[in-house]
Structure 1
Amino acid sequence: EACTSIYREVFAILKADDKYEKFVFITGITKFTQISLFSVLNNLSNISFEPEYAAICGITKEEVMRDFKPEINKLAEYEGWTFDEAVAQLTAYYDGYHFSRRNMVDVFNPFSLINALADSDLKNYWASSGATSLLPKFVDDMEIRLKDFDNCALLSTIIETSDVTGGGPELFLYQSGYLTIKGYMNGTYLLGIPNFEVKQALNEIVLPTLAMRKSNDMQSTQAFLNLYLSVGNLPEAMKCLKALIADVPYSNKKLASMDMEERYRLIMSTIFNAIGCRVEVEKMIATCRIDMVVQTTNYIYVLELKLSNNGGIDAATEQIRAKQYIEPFKADKQKVVALAIELDEKGKGLVDWKEVD
């Protein structure tokens, strides 16, 4: 309410003095329709979804390749990548925004991209930008619903005309940049998470609530898990993972509606995403569906989870071998490691693990 009264005063001045104004461009993360702002300034055109302006507030791949070659080469040199590999990493981290169903040009987040090129480092600049503070006010049960937001839909009448106070969490997440347009069909927008940076930021936000621990109680263990996974030290990595999921599925009442294996998949995928791994849950391959694939810079971990009362580690090992889990990843540069993981059926955490040849 306080903000709105200030906006109204500013807009009234814009309208009163329009004879002095040749061009006015207003942008922000949320649109206001229900608060009579535009009765004060009613001669605006909303260009948010127009195809010719789809890339006006970001940086396209073409512009990156044209204007930032020295910075990309410097990043590539630091990380031991080729130029093309550096572009691919920047794209995965910071690209993926779309602002018009009629022009699906990919747009990079300019704030993150320029910071990454200035630092010659791929960091999560989104999480440090203050963009996360409003989430709890607009999104209930975020930790449980997060996976649903990566493939959701909104009617065009809602996304194109409603303000943030008149829609659900999907509209807020879209307007604030956590979701972007992935497709459009028959009056319905299909939305999803734009890139790896945003996905990691979201998982960092929900992990403490999901794990029922304070964030600072988990940070050291998460850091060690990231370190051990990145160098392939599985005994120490599994100790960290065991510590992070101990008693979580059992004690978190919000998870009660899920079956136990699904609960474990949720908490484990959130942990891996939050430390910066690339995670695919229930990845389809030719022979079956893999429970989880976790990628670091140098390793691909292929995980099969089994509850103790469903065969445990022996059943997981047998399935990895019988269904040839490693086969689809042999062409990748990273080392592939298959892990059979046994979990307690009563929710008490990780029981045992085994690397499968």
Structure 2
Amino acid sequence: AILIDEYDSPLQHSWKTPHHEACTSIYREVFAILKADDKYEKFVFITGITKFTQISLFSVLNNLSNISFEPEYAAICGITKEEVLMDFKPEINRLAEYEGWTFDEAVAQLTAYYDGYHFSRRNMVDVFNPFSLINALADSDLKNYWASSGATSMLPKFVDDMELKLGNFDPCTILRQTIETSDVTGGGAELFLYQSGYLTIKGYQMGVYILGFPNNEVKQALYETVLPALTLRSNGDIQSTQSSLFLSLQLGNLPEAMKCLKALIADVPYSNKKLASMDMEERYRLIMSTIFNAIGCRVEVEKMIATGRIDMVVETTNFVYVLELKLSNNGGIDAATEQMRAKQYAEPFKADKRKVIALAIE
């Protein structure tokens, strides 16, 4: 029995470096031996995250079956809700006790943070990320374990201008042929993001997969990764301001929140050349939504309601912020305030138990 785990790790790390060809030639030799000696092999199981077909894995080992999309294996790489409720009751109760939640509230929070993966269009069973879930239950804390798993280090190699494109990936579509058979080096950003766990299957229609972010943990980790590239500041420079912004929004302290927001946004549209082709209002919308997503708020951009389209809705535990953005040469705060009043932008949130704050931003 031969088990090879993470076969793709050296290939990922050597991709776009002078060592890649030497790396692939070693693989070809190994796989050729596996093929030649298959009479001695009862069982061969190879796992990896990304798929590198150019190393002849599937032509040299042409008797392999790819089980990645098969319905009977849809829950093989994670923990289902049923298993969580059956096997982790004491840990969930402990988390609920620490946080002042009911058992059901604790399950709902764990689900929002770590669940949501689907691996087969024919079996859409929800799967929790086991690494994050088990860490959260061990620590009795909902933290972002994804960022510490090293999953973000490969992003720049496979996705160009990630900070500008992030809004295009949730949701996005990909052809069945591409997602099920293509090589990660030529399948586009969506394929890499799917294979590396940033996107998951949300639906399937007529030969096309619909993909989206699986959960809050992954979405926040992704936005946190791209924020320094968008603001042209180092991670260390913005950490303190980000945490102050999050606390201010949680407490409803608007003057402090606006001070932090200004500090993060200052000069970005002018110094970031990549944003130059975008409409000015669109640039600010992108920067602000990235900031809010990166600190862990729930964000909806251009939310459609009966009376119009709200620029941005930002949700925290205790508040719902309804934002309207206007450039100073387009009426500024007065025009934004008037639009929110005339179109009753706060109205759809009246039933929400949280306090609703309508915010005009110039």
Fold match (TM-score > 0.5):
yes
Q: Distance in 2 between matches of 1:258 and 1:193?
A: 25
Instruction: Give 1:211's aligned residue.
Output: 231
What pairs with 1:268-283 in structure 2 (closer than 5 Å)? 268-283=288-303
Instruction: Give 2:181's aligned residue.
Output: 161
Q: Distance in 2 between matches of 1:105 and 1:127?
A: 25
Aligned residue among 328, 337, 352 for 2:348: 328
| Unaligned 5+ runs, structure 2 | 1-19
- The one-letter amino acid of 1:238's match is M
Aligned residue among 148, 152, 155 for 1:135: 155
Greater alpha carbon shift after TM alignment, 171-180 vs 73-82: 73-82
Instruction: Give 2:75's aligned residue.
Output: 55
Q: Distance in 1 between matches of 2:23 and 2:110?
A: 36
Instruction: Give 2:243's aligned residue.
Output: 223
What pairs with 1:14-93 in structure 2 (closer than 5 Å)? 14-15=34-35, 18-19=38-39, 21-93=41-113
Q: CA RMSD in A?
A: 1.7
Give the secondary structure class of the aligned counterpart of 1:154.
Answer: strand
Q: Does residue 308 of structure 1 match 2:328?
A: yes
Displacement of 1:171: 1.1
Instruction: Give 1:179's aligned residue.
Output: 199
TM-score, normalisation: structure 2: 0.89
CA contact (8 A) 2:27 2:55 kept: no
Displacement of 1:29: 0.3
Displacement of 1:243: 0.8
Displacement of 1:234: 1.1
User: What do residues 11-68 of structure 1 show as CA deviations (whole Å, max 9, x unaligned)?
Assistant: 4554455455443332110123221223443221111111111111111112112221
Instruction: Give 1:286's aligned residue.
Output: 306
Aligned residue among 163, 166, 170 for 1:150: 170
Greater alpha carbon shift after TM alignment, 10-19 vs 166-175: 10-19
Q: Does residue 232 of structure 1 match 2:252?
A: yes
Q: Distance in 2 between matches of 1:142 and 1:32?
A: 22
| Unaligned 5+ runs, structure 1 | 343-357
Greater alpha carbon shift after TM alignment, 156-165 vs 314-323: 314-323
Q: Distance in 1 between matches of 2:273 and 2:59?
A: 47
Number of equivalenced pairs: 342
Q: Distance in 1 between matches of 2:71 and 2:87?
A: 23
What percent identity do the matched residue pairs reach?
87
- The one-letter amino acid of 2:311's match is D
- The one-letter amino acid of 2:43's match is F
Q: Does residue 265 of structure 1 match 2:285?
A: yes
Displacement of 1:327: 2.3
CA contact (8 A) 2:163 2:227 kept: yes
